Structure 1
Amino acid sequence: MPKPLLQDTALRYFLEVVRSGSATVASERLHVAASAVSRQIAALERTLGTTLFERHPRGMVPTQAGEILAGYAHRAGLEEERALEEIQALQGMRMGLVRIAASEAFANLFLPRLIVAFRQQHEGIVFELDAQPPAVVSAQVREGAVDIGLRFSQAPEADIEVQFSQPAPVLALMRPDHPLAGAAGIGLRAMSEHPLALPGPQTTLRQMIDAACARQQLRLRPALVSNNMSTLHSFAIEGGGLSVSSGVAVRQLRAEGRLAAVPVTDAGLDLRTLEVQTLAGRTLPRAVQAFLEHLKLQLPEVM
């Protein structure tokens, strides 16, 4: 591949078409004419001597060659960002950007507190924090859209390096004056006798609960289903009944005495792990690596 190609406009346009799946959408994001995007893609295909996209009525899908080029280009772009930051930071860690995608459990309270503490020592470091469902977190790490992913996981992910992991047991939440607040553990069948607030079926937590219920032929009838964790916590705090969570999401609420938490003891609810993810094979920028180490030191305390 000719070396100048890595800085070519054609490659930048190519990557935007890969991301958007459409030359028209890519042109809108790039603020150029759609015909200009199409010309650059065609020129890139001529240079490489291969087809980079399959053209369909509903959009453009990368061929195998296109996927190879996209993966290489993503990594080249990330390495360029890292090099520029390292050059800027030669006089000390005064500048840098840390991009994080995280499940809501981490994004609400835990990560903001860590970011504030980190910036007290490195005030020049800027953060971007995107709260996303677990699968999206890993996808953003894989695509190079973020530097660090923080999520709950039940299986290995391709092209992902796990920088830290630990078990993430499921907890039943309730008011401190609830009759079950002092229990050593509680099962789903006993929980079903109380009003329940549960997360939506797209979450790993709900999927584990549904699987455990299926094994026991137990049907839960939640009083409230919400994709917002704060809503579920408030249901329990206000005395509506029980909810469920990980330890990290309710650490502060428990410390303040607003919630009690009891381990849920059913088999299969111990299969989820907390993971800190980065892109496999990537050398992280200095600021990202520093925050990653800060994060890893704090995580053992939160579960």
Structure 2
Amino acid sequence: MRLHSLQDTALRYFTAVADTGSLTEASARLHVAASALSRQIAALEAQLGVALFERHPRGMVRTAAGDILLAHARRAELDAQRALEDIGALQGLRAGQVRLATSDAFANELVPRLCVDFQRQHQGVWFSVTVLPTAQVPDTVRQGHADIGLCFSRTPQKDIAVAYRQAAPVLALLPPDHALAALPSVTLAQLGQHPLALPPPETAIRQMMDIVCSRQGLQLDPVLVSNHARTVIQFVVNGGGLSVSSEVAAREMVARGRIVARPISDPGMDLRDIEVQTLAGRHLPVAVEAFLALLRERLPGPA
């Protein structure tokens, strides 16, 4: 059975137009005549007694009522997908899929390892992993394009349920033989005396650093800037200088003795968390629930 067999036709057509903002694009996506889409949407509007779109020469813009209906339609689609996957699992046809949206820090080591370990026990499960800037992860979960979001967070997110949370202070990354590695903690001022690799200014970790530096009248001038966690870690591994990271992103290299991680003692460098996010109010498929349990178990890392 296909997913659309369990979905209302009018809602499917409405969602396609809402996502694309165009009858023409929705028509091409669904392989349905634009006139048929228009009739279904007009019937929905007549039934509800409100306009769902504002019609403009360049496209369709959702009204407030359209926004409310779209949120309902996306939840209905996810519930239908869950029903199919759960029935498939019972019948032994398949165990379903797990769709993850994750920020870069988790994608290099943690997520691939968890996917492999999970599939060894559940060979019918397949994964879709999308790596996004942190700010885009909750939106992807809200839109129903991912079952689980894995990212850093500093503020609550609307329509997002937090399935797991742990503190994620920013750590300094140092070569094992560096003089600062002998200290129990370091300051940003101490780091600034050495060549630095840092994430770009638009990232949460850099914004935290910039706020703390601004309060101290301190300026850090990195010799390398990259939005790729592995790049800045390898900068330290290869002797280029120092960097900063979360524990989870550097966990593998620390365990192998290639780098040392030390707390940064400046106030404000611990004000963020790791969050495992799901859509609020959604009943998750069996495979997703099982993978969530594995995430909760593995995220804390070694004691």
- TM-score, length-normalised on structure 2? 0.92
Query: Is the 8 Å Cα contact of residues 93 and 122 (structure 1) preserved in structure 2?
Result: no
Distance 1:289 1:13, change over 3 A: same
Map of 2:149 onto structure 1: 149
C-alpha offsets along residues 126-164 of structure 1, whole Å, 9 cap, x if unaligned?
111111111211011111111111110001111111111
Structure 1 segment 64-143 matched on structure 2, within 5 A? 64-91=64-91, 94-143=94-143
Give unmatched runs, 5+ long, in structure 1: 1-5
How far 1:71 sits from its partner (Å)? 0.9
Distance 1:14 1:112, change over 3 A: same
Distance 1:109 1:47, change over 3 A: same
| 2:180 is the counterpart of 1:183 | no
Number of positions where the alignment pairs a residue of Structure 1 with one of Structure 2: 298
> d(CA) in 2 for partners of 1:80 and 1:92?
18
Query: Is the 8 Å Cα contact of residues 100 and 129 (structure 2) preserved in structure 1?
Result: yes
SS of the residue 1:301 aligns to:
coil
Map of 1:204 onto structure 2: 204
Map of 1:217 onto structure 2: 217
RMSD between superposed Cα atoms in Å: 2.0
Query: Is the 8 Å Cα contact of residues 168 and 272 (structure 2) preserved in structure 1?
Result: yes
Distance 1:93 1:192, change over 3 A: farther
Query: Is the 8 Å Cα contact of residues 85 and 94 (structure 2) preserved in structure 1?
Result: no
Query: Is the 8 Å Cα contact of residues 174 and 239 (structure 1) preserved in structure 2?
Result: no
Letter in 2 for 1:192: G
Map of 1:3 onto structure 2: none
How far 1:54 sits from its partner (Å)? 2.3
Deviates more, 1:24-33 or 1:151-160: 24-33
Query: Is the 8 Å Cα contact of residues 7 and 76 (structure 2) preserved in structure 1?
Result: no
> d(CA) in 1 for partners of 2:41 and 2:302?
48
Letter in 1 for 2:298: Q
SS of the residue 2:181 aligns to:
coil
SS of the residue 1:180 aligns to:
helix
C-alpha offsets along residues 225-275 of structure 1, whole Å, 9 cap, x if unaligned?
111112111211121111110010111111122211111111111110011
Distance 1:298 1:44, change over 3 A: same
SS of the residue 1:130 aligns to:
strand
Letter in 1 for 2:182: G
> d(CA) in 2 for partners of 1:122 and 1:138?
27
How far 1:186 sits from its partner (Å)? 0.9
| 2:238 is the counterpart of 1:238 | yes
Identity, % of aligned positions: 58
> d(CA) in 2 for partners of 1:266 and 1:114?
33
How far 1:42 sits from its partner (Å)? 3.0
How far 1:91 sits from its partner (Å)? 4.9
How far 1:34 sits from its partner (Å)? 4.6
Distance 1:177 1:142, change over 3 A: same
Query: Is the 8 Å Cα contact of residues 98 and 287 (structure 1) preserved in structure 2?
Result: yes
Query: Is the 8 Å Cα contact of residues 248 and 302 (structure 1) preserved in structure 2?
Result: no
Give unmatched runs, 5+ long, in structure 2: 1-5
SS of the residue 2:214 aligns to:
helix
> d(CA) in 2 for partners of 1:25 and 1:191?
52
Map of 1:300 onto structure 2: 300
- TM-score, length-normalised on structure 1? 0.92
> d(CA) in 2 for partners of 1:19 and 1:277?
22
Map of 1:265 onto structure 2: 265
SS of the residue 1:68 aligns to:
helix
> d(CA) in 1 for partners of 2:17 and 2:178?
55
Distance 1:218 1:54, change over 3 A: farther
